[in-house]
Amino acid sequence: MRREAGRLIGGTATAAVDRSRGKAYPLARVPASPLDIERIREDFPILRHQIRGKPLVYLDNAATSQKPQVVIDAVSRFYSAENANIHRGVHYLSERATVAYDEVREKVAQFLNARSSREIIFTRGTTEGINLVAQSYGRTNLKPGDEIVITAMEHHSNIVPWQLVCEQTGAVLKAAPINDDGELDVTAFEQLLSDRTRLVAVVHLSNALGTINPIKRLVALAHARGIPVLVDGAQAAPHLAVDVQDLDCDFFVFSGHKVLGPTGVGVLYGKEALLERMPPYQGGGDMIETVTLQRSTWAPVPSKFEAGTPMIAQVIGMGAALDYVADLGLESIAAWEHELLSYATERLRGIEGIRLIGTAREKASVLSFVLDGAHPHDIGTILDDEGVAIRVGHHCAQPVMERFGLPATARASFAFYNTFAEIDVLADGITNVKKMFA
Partner 1 sequence: MATLSSLYQDLILDHNRAPQNFRRMENANRRVEGHNPLCGDRLTVWLRMEGDIIRDAAFQGSGCAISKASASMMTSSVKGKTRAEAEALFARFHSLVTGSLEQTQADSLGKLAVFSGLAEFPIRVKCASLSWHALKAALEQPDAVVSTE
User: Of the listed 5, 152, 396, 400, which one is catalytic?
Assistant: 396
Stretches 68-76, 133-141, 282-290, 379-387: which one binds partner 1 (CB under 8 A)? 379-387
**Count of positions (residues) in the chain:** 438
The yes or no reply on residue 375 touching partner 1 (CB under 8 A) is yes
Whole-angstrom distance, CA of residue 117 vs CA of residue 102: 9
Nearer to partner 1, 96 or 375 (CB): 375
393 binds partner 1 (CB under 8 A): yes
- Measure the CA–CA gap between 360 and 339, rounded to whole angstroms: 16
User: What backbone phi and psi angles, to 5 degrees, belong to 323?
Assistant: -60, -45
Taking the CB of residue 56, how many other CB atoms lie within 10 A of it?
A: 19
Are 178 and 206 a contacting pair, CB within 8 Å? no
Q: Is 377 in the site for partner 1 (CB under 8 A)?
A: yes
- The secondary structure of residue 209, as a DSSP letter, is T
Kindly tell me which residue out of 103, 286, 404, 437 binds partner 1, with binding defined by CB under 8 A.
437
Among 333, 374, 388, 423, binds partner 1 (CB under 8 A): 374
Q: Is 166 a catalytic residue?
A: no
Q: Is the dihedral of CA 226, 281, 306, 287 positive or negative?
A: positive
Provide the minimum distance between the beta carbon of 397 and partner 1 in the complex, in angstroms, as a whole number.
11
**Any contact of residue 372 with partner 1 (CB under 8 A)?**
no
Which helix (H) or strand (E) segment holds residue 399: the answer is helix 398-403
Task: Please pick, from the candidates 286, 323, 339, 378, the single residue that binds partner 1 as defined by CB under 8 A.
Answer: 378
Asked if residue 376 binds partner 1 (CB under 8 A), the reply is yes
Cβ–Cβ < 8 Å for 365, 210: yes
Residue (298 or 404) nearer to partner 1, CB: 404
Peptide bond just before 68 cis, omega within 30 deg: no
Containing H/E element for 297? strand 296-298
Q: Based on CB atoms, which residue is closest to partner 1, 20 or 116?
A: 20
Peptide bond into 302 cis (omega under 30): yes
Shortest Cβ 400–partner 1 spacing (Å)? 11
β pairing state of 366-371 and 120-123: unpaired
Q: Using CB under 8 A as the criterion, what x/- string covers residues 123-152 for binding partner 1?
A: ------------------------------
CA 197/CA 295 separation, integer angstroms = 34
Smallest distance from the beta carbon of 158 to partner 1, in angstroms?
A: 19
Strand pairing class (120-123; 266-270): antiparallel
Give me the least distance between CB of 297 and partner 1, in Å please.
44
| CB of 407 vs partner 1, minimal distance in Å | 4
Asked if residue 209 binds partner 1 (CB under 8 A), the reply is: no
Segment 400-429, which members bind partner 1 (CB under 8 A)? 401, 407-408
Size of interface with partner 1, in residues (CB under 8 A): 18
Query: Which residue type, as a one-letter code, is found at position 137?
Result: Y
Which window, 237-245, 282-290, 299-307, 368-376, contacts partner 1 (CB under 8 A)? 368-376
Say which amino acid occupies 381.
Answer: T
Q: Which is nearer to partner 1, 145 or 407 (CB)?
A: 407
> What secondary structure letter does DSSP report for 153?
T
CB nearer to partner 1: pick between 62 and 325:
62
Name the residues that contact partner 1, by CB under 8 A: 373-378, 381-382, 385, 392-394, 398, 401, 407-408, 436-437
Residues assigned a catalytic role: 396
